[in-house]
Structure 1
Amino acid sequence: MSNDDRSFYEILGVGKNATDAEIKKAYRKLAAKYHPDKAGDDPEAMAKFKEMSEAYQVLSDSQKKNIYDQYGKEGLKNDGMGGMGGFGGMADLFDMMGGGFGGMRGGRRAGPRKGEDIVHRLAVSLDDLYKGRSSKMAVTRDIMCPDCHGSGSISGKSATCPDCRGQGVRLVMRQIGPGMVQQMQQRCGKCNGTGQSVAAGDLCKKCKGHRTVKDKKVLEVTIEKGMSNGKKIVFRGEGQAEPEGEPGDIVFVIAEKEHPTFKRQGQHLIIGKTIPLGSALTGVSFHITHMDGRKLLVQTQPGQVITPEMVLCVDGEGMPVHRRPFEKGNLFIKFEVQFPNRLDATQTGLLKKLLPCSPMETEKADDETITMTPFDQSKLRETMTGGNAYDSDEDIGHGGGPGMQCQSQ
């Protein structure tokens, strides 16, 4: 009987009345034997793994299983299963088996293994991001043992780890629910994922067979002008050692600290400035101490009037552009105008002569004259958002309630 003539039940070695648990158990047993991670490049093992994976894909799905039981493989093709001839559609199987076998497809890992990266958050002031600076940082990491050169042994020899059989990982089972077991891959604890073990009497005295030792590295970290929040400074190959591969990296991630005066927005800077009403009408002139120590005298143009929340621009006094430090953004100044609380009669008369004013209407015989008084806007927000403006219906008509009252003068 050819492989094509064998039923899916025969391929998995179960009967037609097998339960879901029995089908899963049979599949796991075959996968442990024929998966490419175990069988390597054996063409016969690859063919068997492909065959039993197709069988499990059908028999583990109740709807597909019913179609197969009634109509066979031809029925599955008519039901949209025609793509079963290859490894396409096997993602669910890899996911079911714990996210795949070490992130592999077809049993092969892409590229050499790499040690873990060491990542540090580096708090940097805006002044340093403006001017640039260098500082020394000490980092502790694992390096290859200098005594045994990463072999873990005195003799320099090692053998295949008996626990993982040289794979560096072990398959473990995890209960995930009633009758449900998940097959997962874990780093081998005996060889620390290297796939090699050392005889007890041959252990390196310095690393005790671990192949790596702790080491402190002092790095000079350069903050370049114009770097931004979240920018990474990477030291390639200075991270954790990987005996069977490449070392990881050391990465410093810039965390920009707030500045008491300047606020950054991309390559631009923003500051706030509060001025009295008189200066807003007649012009301003004031100093700004920049982050490089320069004192800038900033002034308005003759006759320029500043209105509340107006923003004026100083070209070329923003942040340096990263890696183009001679180019800079702009400095924006947002003005707040401080109005006087009251004016006496002399001031009022003088301003009426100098500034255009609305004409004062005179009182007529049938007018009801009302004088406006200051109002607390927080009380208005209370009444509009359902605050305690009125405690009950009985309060209505008794002084208007506590919510909206003008301040007495």
Structure 2
Amino acid sequence: MSVNTSNAPPPPSIGFPATTTAVPTSPSSSGPVNAHDNTLVVIVAVAAVGALLGLFLLMACCRLRIASRVNVQDIDLDTAAAIAVVAPPPSIDCTSTDNTTTNSDVAMSPTTKSIDVALRRFHVAAHRIRNKKPVAQGTHCVVACATYDGTMDVALKTPLASRLKRADAASTMATFAQEILLCARLQHKYIVGFVGVLYRSPRDVTLVTEYMAQGNLASLLGCADSARFKWLSAKKAPVTKLAWAIGVVDALAYMHELGVTHRGLRAKNVLLTSAFGVKLGDMGLTRDTEVALSLTNTHSRTAGNIAPELLQQAATYSTAADMYAFGAFLCELDTCKPPFSSLESGRGGLDNTQIALLVGQGKMQPKFSYSCPDPILEIATRCMDFRPSERPSAIHVLQDLEHIRSAMT
């Protein structure tokens, strides 16, 4: 049966349904007319619902098509850096009977592929690096200096060749790649500047950073000339110890804001510019073994910089542990010696294992000189509180140190 719509009311506009009120029909209303009206209302309602449903389906299909065009390999730096920092190095298949590894032996995992893509973005052409000279060799890497584009002195850091011949070579390179991505992410005036990467293959990678001509702060503090550097006076030196402390904690505050911890703060890892300014360096992520070394190696001087909760192995590394290390760094600035170094020397001295146990139990803390300014000592004491929750944040310490500097002027 066809429906006569010549006298029907106009269809409602499409949108949110309006609230309707039922109107009672008069007794004189005829039955057939009411049936026709009801049928028309049903048809219009069904059409409106169908139109809305079709619109939603169309939008969903468009989103799926757009998503399907995204290439999962197109990873930006922040994403790759997050993967590198959060994800552990790829595991090694220990069931193999062949302990030798080559470039072609290691199949790249999705995480390794992501890191590899990110590293290639920072590639520096080899011909731009000139006058390479060896500088130092550590447990994991060898460091050289060179000239970049004939104008800028740079440092070159490469994993030791001997470590790349071991069964855990893939893990070594994954860790080194994580360090590179972290250096690329950190851009701050008090952090050693990132230049790029000499990338030849996943096993042949060199980190290129700015070269710090004056070496590290520990070497300067250990020489006889260190006596001219004072906390608050710069009459006999180009810079004060307070300025060094402000620079380092400024860098820490920046890192902590990004959710990054340093894990190795000490004067040895603070480098000096040509004008004796400081920049935080050594962003390597190879410090998971540091606690174990501090408990077993009597020649290692790391216990004084490690928070008690880490020595007890009762907590994971946190920003609070960095702040404990900063308190110990203030002690190193004050005494010009690593924490507890005087206790380790001489007959009857404590070895590093004994010191680590006492620090972990809260029975020992680094000692400051009698000439240390009271405000500095108070800040250091708060930083080295046995309770991690009571230690101040880097930004609060920065504000306190800036206040001390302002009071001097």
Q: Counting strand residues as a fraction of each chain, which structure ranks higher? A: 1
Please indicate the TM-score interval, normalised by the length of the shorter structure: under 0.3
Could you say which structure has the higher helix fraction?
2
